[in-house]
Amino acid sequence: MAGSPTVDPGARDGGLDAEPRPTFYADYRQRPFMTFDFTLVLHTSVEPTSVVADARRVISELAPEAPPRFRTVTEVVSGSTAGRRFTFALTGFFATAAMLLAVLGVYGVLSYLVAQRSHELGIRMALGARPFHVYRLVLGEAFWLVGLGLVLGVAAALAMARVLDGMLFGVTSTDGLTYVTVALGLALAALAASQLPAIRATHADPMRALRAE
């Protein structure tokens, strides 16, 4: 035996999107006689590109007829994900735009509701409601709207989960932590968008509401 062979039970030498398969590593002199295409793995403690010239020279001396091709692990991984990088960038852009539209939508709806109910809010304050009570009332309505939106959004995301399965590595399209994190992020964004309308509601004029009555 020229060397001690090694077996990797889950190598992804076909790319990150390929199923892992058992791979047998051994000294190149142990390869089958009819094997013409094989891979040499070089491990170095310096920048990988700095040893390419020396490695090419050594291979040229050992096998002048062999046309070697060198790739770093970074290049292999990058090549495996290149086809999906643009898709994810585009998805991220639209997700950010959707997030901004959701925040503006929550702000616009609450501002409209506060304007429509300014008379009611003024009467509530004239009858003894404190600004905090009015503030809590508006935020409560905001969370009802956000909660309904999150339920519908999660249902739609689960329905479309299979579309994303082929573009994800190391995580499933139904990963619970991802759903919880996104839901919390949206809830916090909606809370921030609700602050100004809720604060504006606490400034309703009780005297104007009474005069209107």
Convert the pLDDT of each residue in 105-132 to its tens digit.
888 888 888 877 777 777 777 777 788 8
The tens digit of pLDDT for each residue in 10-37 reads 566 666 666 677 776 666 666 666 666 6
Residues in the chain, overall count: 213
Three-class DSSP category at 171: coil
What percent of the chain is modeled with pLDDT above 90? 0
- pTM score of the predicted model: 0.56
Least Cα distance to 194 among 133, 140, 153, 131 occurs for 140
In this structure, of 29-33, 70-74, 159-163, the range with the lowest mean pLDDT score is 29-33
The C-alpha R_g of the chain, in whole angstroms, comes to: 31
